[in-house]
Amino acid sequence: MMIMAKLKRDDILKLAQLARLDLTEAEITEFADELSEILQYVEQLQSVDMADLKPTNQVTGLTNVTRKDEPVDYGYAPKDLLKNVPTVQDDLIKVKRIIA
Amino acid sequence: MADQWLPIADLVTAVQAKKTTAADLVERSLAALAAQQDYQAIIVTLADRARERARQIDAEIANGKKVGRLAGVPFIAKDNFLVFGAETTAASNILKGFSAPYQATVIERLEAEGAICVAKANLDAFGHGASTENSDFFTTKNPHDTTRVPGGSSGGSATAVVLNMAPFALGTDTGGSSRQPASFSGCVGYKPTYGLMSRSGIVAMASSTDTVGTLARSVSDAALVIDVMAGPDAWDATTIERQENYQDLSTDLKGKKIGIIKEWMGEGLADNVKERIEAAVAKLQAAGATVTEVSLPSLPLALAVYYILVPAEISSNLSRYDGQRYGYSDASAKDLEASYRKSREVGFGKEAKRRIMIGTYVLSSGYYDAYYKKAQTVRTKLINEFNAAFKDYDFLLGPVAPTTAFALGAHKDPLQMYLCDVMTVAASMVGCPAISIPAGTSEKLPVGLQLMAPQRADKELLALAHQTEELLV
């Protein structure tokens, strides 16, 4: 497939949108150049002969590690787990409105 | 520089025999931390907590109770380990003020044996870097030359160990983050087989290669700490069975077959590093080991594989920092979407953003096969080549990094910084254990020797490293 090695301003904005990340104007310009350079570097993989190799996802060969589907008492009260939450109301995490 | 610590086993014997106390060891560590603040190795010191733990241990000894294998031994944790009673920031602005609701499994295990966490060390934010210059707070200085970097990302941990702030420190190693600072700063840096130690309670970077690193003054000190930490954990489904007794370091170098990696000894390797590695090889040969050149032709591709897979995993792991459940939250945003975007813009430093962007790109629709899947397939190729090499050789050997510690600010270009990882990422990609041990100095700067073993041969690797270390002293 065609690889787009040179990222433009619009590409950066699209990626930032996908990543839920606002960028400053300076970052947009900088990242367009830097990301293009990094992607050009990793493109050396495109010419590698893969023959019939399969991708590796897990290196030690573990598969389907599961635990019993039972409740576990971690010994924490809800308030312990909520202590880092920016805005709490009635032991619930409060967020901004979803539809502006 | 503060006085050198005795070997950890000797410290513990002295505490148990009441020749010294846990309180004395903690005070000595706190004094060394206070006296060497200029190196900026530490984000926070846990003096009150450490003194309280020392009092408890000394009281147990006074009452004739049996104490643990690390009783009274101070240590420093990289600030991406969750520790009770301290903030865990991962050196990032977005986690500033985060107070751990639970502790990392390995911290629990060390504390259960009586070790005492005295401080949290600086790092490249979230582990993204090779110099600590990507810390959102400040840059740690090399213990041998304050105009140079200590390596990274566990640069604070390495500097702290070399300056005797504590007998050992924990780091993490995702692509070399414990081995490379050990090489640059002059201590032992260990990366275990993937899954040997639990990552529960450690700030995630790249889950398919994240490991717990150990930084210590000697291989035997590291082996004791590893012996306490290793083994399965219900809170980390990737953990594997451990071997018995990592502290048994007896082995005979005679007849050991060691492959010196051809691809790392040629172009791109600084002459002064090459000299130290060749000198180490000569000593190994004189001690009866067979060291011959081995080629792993796909090794030059490992860095490209790493810088696709790791940013992909980072972009996924850092998606949890959304400004809603913990971490920095931007109060000015009008709706949820804007709150996500603004909190992440302000909270993340430039390198985290850069890696999130790369990761998002290589995972995005239309590019997944060309980048991510391709990299996973080249990863298979690398694994096959390592497996083939380990049929002929017991261990592999090479440098840790192409150069000695570089000057602060030397690598302004992100790709140049990534290239520093060229010799450490392979072990991370294939999941095998690897260690950096001091192999002398060049113009006062340390050079590390990297040794690698097949997966699950951590005990054999530690034994080899211990014997090699004795030759290089």
Task: Give ipTM to 2 decimals.
Answer: 0.94
Tell me how far apart the alpha carbons of residues B157 and B214 are, in angstroms, rounded to a whole number: 9
Q: In the predicted model, is pLDDT for residue A3 greater than 60? A: no
Q: Give the CATH number, domain containing residue B168.
A: 3.90.1300.10
SS3 assignment, position B171: strand
Contacts of A58 in chain B (CB under 8 A): 208, 238
Flag whether B105 is in a domain: yes
Flag whether B455 is in a domain: no
- 3-state SS, chain A, equals CCCCCCCCHHHHHHHHHHCCCCCCHHHHHHHHHHHHHHHHHHHHHHHCCCCCCCCCCCCCCCCCCCCCCCCCCCCCCHHHHCCCCCCEECCEECCCCCCC
| Residue A93: pLDDT band with limits 50, 70, 90 | very high
| B101/A81 CB distance under 8 A | yes
pLDDT of residue B462: 98
User: pLDDT digit string (tens) for B208-248?
Assistant: 999 999 999 999 999 999 999 999 999 999 999 999 999 99
- State how far the alpha carbon of B146 is from the alpha carbons of B55, B73, B91, B141, in Å: 36, 28, 20, 5
Terminal-residue alpha carbon distance, chain A: 40
Flag whether B250 is in a domain: no
- Single out the residue of B217, B237, B233 nearest to residue B225, CA to CA: B217
Q: In the predicted model, is pLDDT for residue A77 greater than 90? A: no
Flag whether B134 is in a domain: yes
Locus of tokens 């009260």: A77
User: pLDDT digit string (tens) for A9-27?
Assistant: 999 999 999 999 999 999 9
CB atoms within 10 A of CB B342: 21
| B298/A56 CB distance under 8 A | no
Residues spanned by the domain of B94: 8-229
Flag whether B31 is in a domain: yes
Please give the interface size between A and B, counted as residue pairs whose CB atoms are below 8 Å apart.
181
CB atoms within 10 A of CB B270: 15
pLDDT of residue B351: 97
pLDDT of residue A5: 67
pLDDT of residue B428: 98
Point out the residues of B that are catalytic: 78, 153, 177
Going by their DSSP bridges, the two strands B395-399 and B257-261 should be labelled as: parallel
Tell me how far apart the alpha carbons of residues A73 and B133 are, in angstroms, rounded to a whole number: 41
Q: In chain B, which residues have pLDDT < 50? A: none
SS3 assignment, position B376: helix
Contacts of A34 in chain B (CB under 8 A): 354, 413-415
Number of domains, chain B = 1
Flag whether B172 is in a domain: yes
pLDDT of residue B316: 97
The domains found in chain A, sorted by start residue, are 1-48 (1.10.20.60)
CA distance B328 to chain A (A): 8
Tell me how far apart the alpha carbons of residues B123 and B152 are, in angstroms, rounded to a whole number: 7
Which residue type sits at B298? S
Tell me how far apart the alpha carbons of residues B21 and B59 are, in angstroms, rounded to a whole number: 10
Flag whether B19 is in a domain: yes
**Is B320 in CB contact (< 8 Å) with chain A?**
no
pLDDT of residue B356: 98
Cut 0.90: pTM above it: yes
- Single out the residue of B196, B363, B210 nearest to residue A62, CA to CA: B196
Going by their DSSP bridges, the two strands B257-261 and B290-294 should be labelled as: parallel
In chain B, the residue whose alpha carbon lies closest to the alpha carbon of A13 is: B357
